Amino acid sequence: MPEFYLRTESIKSDDILSLSVINNYDKDIITALKSSEPCLIEGSRGTGKSFLMRVAELEIERSDVSSISVYVSFNISSLVDTEDPLQFYHWMLAKSLKALINKLKKRGIVLSSYSVSLLSNDEHNEYDGVDEDLKSIVSAFENSYKGKINIPTHSLPDIEDVKEAIETICIEHKLKRIYFFFDEAAHVFRPDQQRQFFSLFKDLRSPYITCNAAIYPGVTYFGKSFEPTHDCIYKRLDRNIKDAGYIDYFKDIVLKQSDDVTKKAIKEQGGLFKVLALSSGGNPRMLLRTIQDLERFNTQSVNQLIKQFYRSQIWIEHTELGDKYKGHKQLIDWGRDFLENIAISAIEKYNTNRKDKNKEESTIYFWVHKDSPATVKEALRLLTYTGIIRKLDSGVRASRGELGTRYEVKYGCLIALQSSPNNESDDFFNTLSIKKFPEFGKNHSSYLTISNLKNTIEDINTFRESLSNMLQKPISVLKLLTSWQKSKLNHAKIFNLEQLYSCTETELIAKIYNVGPVRARLMKNAATAELLEYLSG
């Protein structure tokens, strides 16, 4: 099978729009991102949050010369570790201003000395001085994991000066608005960082600034000063497998990146494509990844891959989160055990009973009481982050009139349990009923092993230990690097993640025979993207 783009970061800006497949649901989100109101997009990994933000960014740039869009990724946030209690706020502000200045330069906009003085806390009156200071601050924060250092943030402006500077820039250059698109909006396993991010998100609000951000379900901490329902437009990026047009939509996504052989196979084997698309549970990355891993587009290969990926690989990747972040390990391990051995077993039993009674009803859903222990809810939230389950709705009444939350298990995780997923899929899918689900009350026996678990999520020392351990991992853990890339990196004596992160493009050129600047940059970007995704979970 061909190689697909599995991450938006791998796609050139010029190719984003040509590869985009936009339905009415996506259009609604893009419209919100282009509005004057701040917007948050919530979705699991691989659902397309970054891609839609890129589309919105490009549409703004191409259709409205009086607006400027600035895309800022915070994917390197896991490496920020200083004694500054507001380290993330300062780092994110410096990174955002640096990205803004870069975009203004590209547009040929020259700042007045007044704007420059505001952006540099009266340290400079020339453009280049501000740029160099911001670059130095960002770099120092991003290398702070190596040891405790004090970073001179005195040149960072007050947030009110930032807003005044942007207002001045807009008035002087006849601009209507500056749009910030924040991707990887603060590290999901650092609640302190997330709270600081949302303080910055809210602080930047002005008639000339709109902030948009992509966040993850279940694991986002907003802090006390930010209310999603009042402070922004809140959009969930969920793709329901029961929606009309679901299969055609995902087929278009795959065909946009497919070679002629794959296009022909999909056209001739529509049923096989359907079971792969349903198995992904609405996750474009998972669908592309599974098709890319197929040996052949036939029934045997599809059945084999679905069983391997949804019975094994998807669970292994979830469990690895606990190995990376020790403070979450017990929650992650319990969540897997509960879902795999209890919830899914209950769903299977329910489906078998209904089938034995000749009832045309099946389910991939389960319900958890609203008063279940907080640790149970946290474990389930982590499962929504990795996308194994999806939170459908809360406040749902169960059989005894009690209120709780309804979840959907990824379709592939259930169909993979059949001897022939492809043959069983149509009947199973056609009988799915959202009204049918096993129930887990507030005192279910499975909660006993986790209900009194000590919360270590906020423990900074635990996080530092986890980060140090991850940086010593071999580059072989980076699954999406090619064998050629890994061999070349090893040949250059780059064996672990820390060595990879520390190596510059120039050093790659010097160390790797027959690798020029272009290929070195591609290798460095691909390796860094994979490295940062590994570190962030």
Domain boundaries, the chain: 8-236, 246-449, 472-536
Averaged pLDDT for residues 382-409 = 91
Given pLDDT bands bounded at 50, 70 and 90, which one contains residue 374? confident
Distance, C-alpha 314 to centroid of its chain: 16
Span 8-236 CATH architecture: 3-Layer(aba) Sandwich (3.40)
Averaged pLDDT for residues 494-498 = 79
Averaged pLDDT for residues 77-84 = 79
Given pLDDT bands bounded at 50, 70 and 90, which one contains residue 456? very low
Averaged pLDDT for residues 155-179 = 95
Asked if 250 contacts 277 with a C-beta cutoff of 8 angstroms, the reply is yes
Given pLDDT bands bounded at 50, 70 and 90, which one contains residue 129? confident
Q: Give long-range contacts, CB 8 A cutoff, 24+ apart: 167-172.
A: 167/206, 167/207, 167/208, 168/112, 168/114, 168/115, 168/118, 169/104, 169/109, 169/111, 169/115, 170/208, 172/112, 172/115
User: Given this chain, do its domains 8-236 and 472-536 carry the same CATH topology?
Assistant: no
Residue (of 468, 184, 453, 478) closest to 325 by Cα position: 468
Look at the block and give the residue holding tokens 């982050």: 385
The CA-based angle 91-92-94, given to 5 degrees, is: 65
Quick one: CA dihedral 358, 359, 360, 361, positive or negative?
negative
At 20-42, the pLDDT tens digits run 999 999 999 999 999 999 999 99
Which two tokens mark 49?
């949050």
Given pLDDT bands bounded at 50, 70 and 90, which one contains residue 355? confident
Given pLDDT bands bounded at 50, 70 and 90, which one contains residue 69? very high
Whether the pLDDT of residue 235 is over 70: the answer is: yes
Reported as half-sphere exposure (CB side, CA atoms, 13 A), residue 146 has a value of 10
Residue 393 gets which letter from DSSP?
E
At 265-299, the pLDDT tens digits run 999 999 999 999 999 999 999 999 999 999 999 99
Asked if 45 contacts 66 with a C-beta cutoff of 8 angstroms, the reply is no
Which two tokens mark 235?
């959009």
The more confidently predicted of residues 467 and 143 is 143
Measure the CA–CA gap between 328 and 496, rounded to whole angstroms: 24
Whether the pLDDT of residue 458 is over 60: the answer is: no
Asked if 168 contacts 114 with a C-beta cutoff of 8 angstroms, the reply is yes
Given pLDDT bands bounded at 50, 70 and 90, which one contains residue 486? confident
At 240-267, the pLDDT tens digits run 999 999 999 999 999 999 999 999 999 9
Asked if 161 contacts 119 with a C-beta cutoff of 8 angstroms, the reply is yes
Q: Is 45 helix (H, G, I), strand (E, B) or coil?
A: coil
Whether the pLDDT of residue 330 is over 90: the answer is: no
Whether the pLDDT of residue 464 is over 90: the answer is: no
Measure the CA–CA gap between 416 and 414, rounded to whole angstroms: 5
Q: Is 278 helix (H, G, I), strand (E, B) or coil?
A: helix
- Report the range out of 2-16, 76-90, 135-149, 428-442 with the highest average pLDDT: 428-442
Under CATH, what is the fold of the domain 472-536?
DNA polymerase; domain 1 (1.10.150)
Average pLDDT, the chain: 86
Pairing of strands 403-409, 389-397: antiparallel
The more confidently predicted of residues 511 and 374 is 374
Q: Give long-range contacts, CB 8 A cutoff, 24+ apart: 481-489.
A: 481/526, 481/527, 481/530, 485/523, 485/526, 485/527, 488/512, 488/515, 488/523, 489/523, 489/527
Given pLDDT bands bounded at 50, 70 and 90, which one contains residue 525? low
Residue 425 gets which letter from DSSP?
H
The more confidently predicted of residues 508 and 334 is 334
Report the share of the chain in percent with pLDDT over 90.
53
Measure the CA–CA gap between 345 and 360, rounded to whole angstroms: 19
Whether the pLDDT of residue 455 is over 60: the answer is: no
CA distances from 301 to 149, 294, 406 (A): 53, 6, 33
Averaged pLDDT for residues 104-115 = 92
